[in-house]
A and B are shown apart, each in its own frame.
Chain A
Amino acid sequence: MIKKLFDWLRQPLGLIAVGIAFLALFSLAAYGIHYTQQAPAQPVQFPHKTHVAFGIQCLYCHPGAARGPAAGIPAESKCWGCHNQIAKTQTSALLAPLKDSVLSGTPLQWVPVAQVPDFVQFNHRAHIAAGQNCENCHGDMSKVTVAENPQIFNMGFCLNCHKKVAGDDHVKLVKLTDCGTCHY
């Protein structure tokens, strides 16, 4: 039975079939890798670079970063605070979801982009208080349109910085590399 199959595969038609199967698997894998690198679809094509160019601070829309664990994603009411005074909001097709959301009272379902797994307890406040700027982890937002991750937030990324910050201070190093600081 198996011998028959191998004989069939050795003939030209069989070799072509093997080639096609290999190509299909390869392109599926390539698509899979490509797919994981895509920023998720957002309800509004929010241009970070435009807002940064207007001089709006990160903490204006994400104030939680300075106060607590989560930076927060603003509700449409915060957008509307400025946008209801901008004439373009009424006409732009890109801003139509925002207008609809405010008028109908249904919140915008933003998709969080920078996330850590459930078993990691991240606190923004401590990092801002330690003098880290947003762009150290989130990249230069004056260059991106829809938010995307400049790097994968894995443990190596966190620990590299923690070790660098602690330097020769042993007490700080113990605290910053302790499992219980982030995992509980």
Chain B
Amino acid sequence: MIDLKVTEIKMGEEHVGKWGMVIDQDMCTGCQACVAACAMENNITFVGEKDSGYGRSMHWIRIERFWQGEYPEIKMTPNQPMMCQQCGSATCEPVCPAFATVHSQAEQLNLQVYNRCVGTRYCANNCPYQVRSFNWRDYKRPEPLANQFNPDVTVRRRGVMEKCTFCIQRIHKAEDKAKSEGREVVDGEFTTACAQACPATAITFGRVDDPESLVSQLARRHGHGVKHLEELGTLPNVTYFKGG
């Protein structure tokens, strides 16, 4: 018998993050464009065939697929893009001995500070979404690809944990641009690489604390959004819809 008391207390907690995402699984075709776009935007290395076989492949976003039923009568469930849920009460944060994964008070995101990370991998083991990836080696890039690094994102070295940042470099860029023009960031002015690449517009990114933003409107319109593993009390900022 599982004691659900702790869960009940956590569920009652009101939590509003700053940046959030809405993912419509009915729209997702599983084309992996978001995965490719994320890798390009965030300088994610290609681990190669051998290390991938050891389960060391690195993705900040992945498309999960599940199926129901026994073999001949298999029914696919909608594709499920899975990335860091930017939990309001993240399980990765309290376990880091080096304070490398800390909560950003300004942006309400889970940060990964690469220069602090000592590579204990405790955070990845404690993440219920399994979205963190570890740099097992310094993976070399074949020559033409070395020229496409995004200068706004750190190129991580060996022994460092990394994960989705909600494209914090784009957040900062948009905030910087808005500030230079003396205004606030407008909803839809920028978006994350995955949301930008999605041809089916399954991913929407924006301010969840702004009731007029597109993510908030979508969340209200669907009304039956699911936050994954919410019962663990992680207070995730990504909402999933399916079967609408």
Contact = CB atoms under 8 A, between A and B. Distances in A.
Contacts, number: 52
A123 interface: yes
Contacts of A179: 102, 104, 111, 113
Given A119-B154, A121-B169, A175-B106, A180 B111 contact: yes
Interface residues of A, number: 17
B31 interface: no
B106 A174 contact: yes
A126 B179 contact: yes
B contacts with A: majority SS: loop
A69 B153 CA distance: 13
Interface string A63-74: 000000100000
B139 to A, nearest CB: 16
B11 interface: no
Interface string B194-227: 0000000000000000000000000000000000
A180 B109 contact: yes
A183 B106 contact: no
A165 to B, nearest CB: 15
B155 interface: yes
Interface of A: 69, 117-119, 121, 123, 125-126, 129, 174-175, 178-181, 183-184
27 contacts: A69-B152, A119-B154, A121-B152, A123-B176, A125-B176, A126-B176, A129-B179, A174-B106, A178-B105, A178-B106, A178-B107, A179-B104, A179-B113, A180-B104, A180-B106, A180-B111, A180-B165, A181-B172, A183-B111, A183-B114, A183-B115, A183-B154, A184-B111, A184-B165, A184-B168, A184-B169, A184-B172
